[in-house]
Amino acid sequence: MGVKVPTIDFRKSSEWEKGSEKWVLVRDEVYKSLEEFGCFEALLDEDIPKEKLYDKLKEVYNFNLEKKFGHSVSPDVKIGYTKYGPTTPLQERLMIDYVLNDGVIENFSKILWPNGETEFSDLMITYSKKVTEFNDLVRRMVFDKLGLKEHYLDEHKKSGDPFVVLIKYRVPEAGETNIGVPPHTDKVISTVLSQHDMDINGLQIMNKNGQWIDVQYSTPYSYIFLVSDCLKAFTNGKLHCPLHQVKIGNEERYSVGLPIFPKEGHIIKVPEELVDEDHPLVYQPFDGSRYLPFYLSELRRGVLITLEGYCGVSAGTPNLC
């Protein structure tokens, strides 16, 4: 049997008391998984309206999104739409910034359904809130395992905003690449992924031995938590940030990502509790909001920037804040 990403059961986690035997057991599983793989499969409660949301997502992709949004930003809500880019020729992607801010989803819905539609808004808000709460719980467990004080978590929760990325992959034509997304690490804090059909695989992560592992969604209530570059930097490299990619087979694939983007001006800085003689500082402080734009600008020049190259102490890069 091949290597498998760990599966952790978070169902009824709202009933767990911090410090209880169950809470500590799951906390240790979470930390071990993120230390070794940089991700895990989470089983979440069935009250997250995942299936209904995906039904509406298919309806969204029946619209002419390029006509509705182009590649610009709406004046009412930041919406980024891309279709069949040079490095992602099979992917359509619609990103909604600040998804939990008042009015954002409602304004988005009005663009698609000018005559009124509330179901998508309700589903998207419920999904985003519950997945964000799960993301917060994972970070709380990580910080507790690292022995960090509560104020670090409070600051960290305020340091980023949840976005939503709605993705559709088409089936490759004869002679086309089957790479939906090339190998990369996420340039945010963390990401939670789901997909519509648990039987249509596509996501792969590279383990520490350099092997690609197929990430399986074992139930309809499965989600994948991924460590991203900013969380790896904050933990002084204690958590693994996995290189991952998406491969597409002979069926179209729908996926929803909920990344936490660093807020403008927030400094990603390793807590002093995580630095000592045995664990020297690995990453310099940096403004997390500047990292992704810099990465993309360099990529357009044909230069691939890594976290170590961007803010690694050994790289000696100045003026990161």
pLDDT of residue 66: 84
Please tell me the total number of residues recorded for the chain in this structure: 321
pLDDT reported for residue 72: 44
Best CA proximity match to 69, nearest among 166, 172, 162: 166
- Are the C-beta atoms of residues 248 and 234 closer than 8 Å to each other? no
- 22-34: pLDDT as tens digits: 999 999 999 999 9
179-211 per-residue burial string, b: 16 or more CB within 10 A, e: under 16: bbbeeebbbbbbbbbbbbeeebbbbbbbbeeee
* Rounded Cα gap, residues 247 and 255, in angstroms: 13
Question: What does pTM read for this prediction?
Answer: 0.93
What's residue 73's pLDDT? 41
pLDDT at 320: 65
Share of the chain above pLDDT 90, in %: 72
Strands 267-268 and 286-287, by their bridges, are: antiparallel
DSSP-H helix ranges across the chain: 21-36, 50-60, 65-69, 104-112, 119-145, 150-157, 229-234, 288-300, 307-311
SS3 content of the chain, % helix, strand, coil (to 5): 35, 25, 45
Residue ranges and CATH numbers for the domains of the chain are 7-265 (2.60.120.330)
Report which secondary-structure segment, H or E, holds 262: strand 253-262
Name the band, by pLDDT with cuts 50, 70 and 90, for residue 75.
Answer: very low
Q: What mean pLDDT do residues 171-187 have?
A: 93
Q: Looking at residue 291, what is its pLDDT?
A: 93
Which pLDDT belongs to residue 123?
96
Name the strands in the sheet holding 244-247, side by side, starting at the edge strand that comes first in the sequence.
Answer: 179-184, 244-247, 203-206, 212-214
